[in-house]
Amino acid sequence: MKIRIVGVLLLLAMLISVMAACGSTTPTPGKETDKEQTTSKSGETSSQPGGETETVGGSQEDLSDGLADEDFNEYLFTVLYSNRGLMVLNEVDDFTGDLIEDAIYEGAQAVKERFNVVYERINAGGDQELSNRLSNSVLTSGTVDEFSMTIGHDFLTVSNAMKGCYADLTDVPAFHNLSKPWWPENNINSISVGGRLYVASSYASYSPLAAAGAIVFNKKIIHDLGLEAPYQTVRDGDWTMEELLNYAEDGYQDLDKDGTININGGEVYGFAIGRECGYTFQRSVDVVPIFKDENDMPYFNLDVARADEFLSNLDSIFEYGKFFLEDNNSHNVAFGANAALMIQTSLNTVLKTIRNFEGVTYGFLPMPKLNDEQEKYISGSTDMLWGIPQTSSGHMKEISTVIEALSCQCYNYVLPAFYESTMKSKLSDSEEDVEMLDIVRDSTALSFAYFYSRALGGTEVCMADLPRNTKAGEVSSYVSANQTALEENLAILVEQYQQLQELVG
């Protein structure tokens, strides 16, 4: 009962404050980024969510969106999304009792009432169904104002952008030149080409932080083995793939020595990851194939020696673990059965799955560095990308205003509900785990190569997921076989973006 009362009081406090901050027309002094947006030379940089601030929303004085209050006469704001979920708006018009969902709902209600709009949510089904429906709406039928916004699968959304489905976001007045902290520079750099932005990764939802990669370890197993959790190793900056290998070797328990792990027979993987974790691991050790020049143009520049070291280290680690190429859940199942010392996962998977495992006490660690030469920890991540269909650009003022206001609400209230109130307060077992989570949050990074994988010819060509495409000792030949095609596809991508400027402005 005590926990329930505290939760209700916290929610009420959020609901009272949520109506005030983002609705203010005067920006909070000293808390906003007023400088003009700049683009870094690399499309693969890491950037702390929230721009120049030290935390992800809410912990400092709440920021204002700076938008004037207007009456949009019940404009129908229609969002097309997939079965992956909506995240920007709730799928139901009511409180659910879930802290995160209720923060999303209350923020959306505040925006709805402030601008006098009506929400419509359309679930297209699967990711490909969403992509097809949007493409048919814009390119085949040319239906005006059918959808105000779409949010869905990362590189499928980019693929639709390359076809000319979306409006350019860089010149939209409501977005304030993308200078607000819910537009992290790294997210923009990981999507834009030549300063143009046809789809977005931003804190319109909490997706970029929720997808951040992390290591989760079993505290009971590590205790039973007489090992120390590597918190101090992380603090010292020495948490590398070599250190992960040492833990994987110590944790591996193949009791019958048959070369396989029976998760129901008391045997234990030292380390395991799932099918979709290879990319985020590669991003976390800073093995990136695509960079950006001073004009925001992408170019190929994979460090072959670094890539080979990464794959060689993985081979050693998986002598004591497994890469589940067939699915993205078996490593979680093993962890839930107390049959894995460490796994790579995402914060969202902890929220949705790992927290529900009975009899499992877990701790957090950031993703390891490749080696001692890597300066900083990196948490490879992705996002549910969103865009504004170019056939709805006649209502750009209404659409962009609603999105910017929702983004302000997310930054000030939804992100803290997810990160501060849930990940740190509810799902962390110790102060050390909170400290590790802050490292994950502060080092979240996206990847241009991953988002544009289809445009670049698929993962085999764009090299956004080396662990699934090649192996140690063969990177040089792999690059030789694929680099020409990749560079040709990059040239086509740039040309397509130039054509998009003429097509959708």
Indicate if 483 and 353 belong to the same structural domain.
Answer: yes
Q: Is 29 exposed, middle or buried (0-12, 13-18, 19+ CB in 10 A)?
A: exposed
Indicate if 257 and 109 belong to the same structural domain.
Answer: no
pLDDT at 505: 57
Indicate if 277 and 349 belong to the same structural domain.
Answer: yes
pLDDT at 502: 73
For residue 200, pLDDT beyond 60: yes
Residue 228 resides in a domain: yes
Residue 199 resides in a domain: yes
- Give yes or no for a contact between 413 and 16, defined as CB atoms under 8 angstroms apart: no
- For residue 286, is it left (φ>0), alpha (ψ between -120 and 50) or beta? left
Indicate if 368 and 478 belong to the same structural domain.
Answer: yes
Residue 432 resides in a domain: no
Confidence of residue 504 (pLDDT cuts 50, 70, 90): low
Indicate if 105 and 196 belong to the same structural domain.
Answer: yes
Q: Encode pLDDT of 236-274 as tens digits.
A: 999 999 999 999 999 999 999 999 999 999 999 999 999
Q: Give me the domain span that covers residue 411.
A: 2-210+383-424
CATH number, domain with residue 196: 3.40.190.10
CA distances from 76 to 72, 118, 138, 386 (A): 9, 5, 18, 18
pLDDT at 176: 82
Indicate if 200 and 303 belong to the same structural domain.
Answer: no
pTM of this structure: 0.89
CA distance 373 to 231: 20
Mean pLDDT of 287-307: 96
Mean pLDDT of the chain: 89
Residue by residue, DSSP assigns 96-158 as -S-HHHHHHHHHHHHHHHHHTEEEEEEE--SHHHHHHHHHIIIIII--TTS-SEEEE-HHHHH
Residue 266's contacts (CB-CB under 8 Å, 6 or more residues apart) are 253, 255
Identify the three-state secondary structure at position 200.
Answer: strand
pLDDT at 22: 82
Q: Encode pLDDT of 179-194 as tens digits.
A: 899 999 999 999 999 9
pLDDT at 21: 61
pLDDT at 501: 77
Residue 471 resides in a domain: yes
- Give yes or no for a contact between 362 and 217, defined as CB atoms under 8 angstroms apart: yes
Q: Is 186 exposed, middle or buried (0-12, 13-18, 19+ CB in 10 A)?
A: buried
Q: Encode pLDDT of 116-145 as tens digits.
A: 999 999 999 999 999 999 999 999 999 999
Indicate if 117 and 181 belong to the same structural domain.
Answer: yes
Residue 433 resides in a domain: no
Please state which of the ranges 192-201, 280-289, 404-413, 495-504 shows the lowest mean pLDDT.
495-504
Q: Which residue has the tokens 């093995």?
A: 287
pLDDT at 12: 45
Indicate if 86 and 235 belong to the same structural domain.
Answer: no
CA distance 136 to 406: 27
411 or 34, which is more confident: 411
Residue 328 resides in a domain: yes
Residue 28 resides in a domain: yes
For residue 437, pLDDT beyond 90: yes
CA distances from 456 to 27, 289, 453, 474 (A): 41, 12, 5, 21
Indicate if 375 and 464 belong to the same structural domain.
Answer: yes
Total count of domains within the chain: 2
pLDDT at 62: 78
pLDDT at 23: 67
For residue 107, pLDDT beyond 70: yes
Indicate if 164 and 228 belong to the same structural domain.
Answer: no
CA distances from 349 to 17, 149, 156 (A): 29, 26, 22
CB atoms within 10 A of CB 358: 5
> Max CA-CA distance within the chain?
71
At 207, list the tokens: 């997706």
For residue 161, pLDDT beyond 80: yes
Q: Encode pLDDT of 378-389 as tens digits.
A: 999 999 999 999
CA distances from 354 to 86, 216, 332, 362 (A): 21, 9, 7, 9
Identify the three-state secondary structure at position 58.
Answer: coil
Indicate if 233 and 186 belong to the same structural domain.
Answer: no
Percent of the chain with pLDDT over 90: 81
For residue 14, pLDDT beyond 70: no
483 or 503, which is more confident: 483
Query: Of the residues 395, 424, 453, which one is the last residue of a structural domain?
Result: 424
Give the angle 148-149-153 at the CA atoms, nearest 5°: 155
Residue 53 resides in a domain: yes
Indicate if 355 and 402 belong to the same structural domain.
Answer: no
Quote the DSSP letter at residue 196. Answer: B
Q: Encode pLDDT of 25-75 as tens digits.
A: 333 222 222 223 333 334 454 433 333 223 444 445 679 999 999 999 999
Q: Encode pLDDT of 457-497 as tens digits.
A: 988 899 999 999 999 999 999 999 999 999 999 999 999 99
Helices (H) and strands (E) in the chain, counts: 20, 13
- Give yes or no for a contact between 153 and 130, defined as CB atoms under 8 angstroms apart: yes
